[in-house]
Structure 1
Amino acid sequence: MQDPGSRRCLGIVWSAGSATHLATGLFFASTIWTNREVQNIRVLLGVLLLALFLLVTFFGLGPVLFADGSMTERMITLGIVIIIYLAIASVAFRIFRKKE
């Protein structure tokens, strides 16, 4: 049961703690995540990562393949795009790996 001074927002119970904390605006959060909420967050993050991947593909590989710049400029852009892909892949791996 939650105390009357708390409210639930995005799976987190926010409570004021004491009158002094309430007066200063400091709130404490205790996380109460159910498996369903965690699964919903993973789906949302998966959709966001997919959208980010598609945006990097469109705006990153487009200039590499179709730009009229020099070969050096294209290779620098390709290197940066590959670094961005690796960063997205590492974030996705950390989010979606199985926890034991």
Structure 2
Amino acid sequence: MKFRPLHDRVVVKRVDSETKTAGGIIIPDTAAEKPQEGEVVAVGPGTRGDDNELIALDVKKGDRVLFGKWSGTEVKVDGVELLIMKESDIMGVIEK
């Protein structure tokens, strides 16, 4: 991928959600909600503080994150659907 986000922007690729409930019911694509979990593909350098110093982001490439339902802007880069969002739209990192 040849895309570099600016400032405090993060590029996230959604991960596939479960197509079956815990009870074994299969959810069709038309009824399934978009997943709110993704993998960070690229991060910007950070933001500038009041003293003009660069403040690095807390997330890094490869992190698995949770984000809000309506967060980010959907784009297609090299045929892959991605989300571009600010770091503040990310709720947290999923630890393994």
Greater length-normalized contact order (CA 8 Å, ≥ 6 residues apart): 2
TM-score if structure 2 supplies the norm length? 0.24
Name the structure where strand makes up a greater proportion of residues.
2
Higher helix share: 1
TM-score (norm 1): 0.23
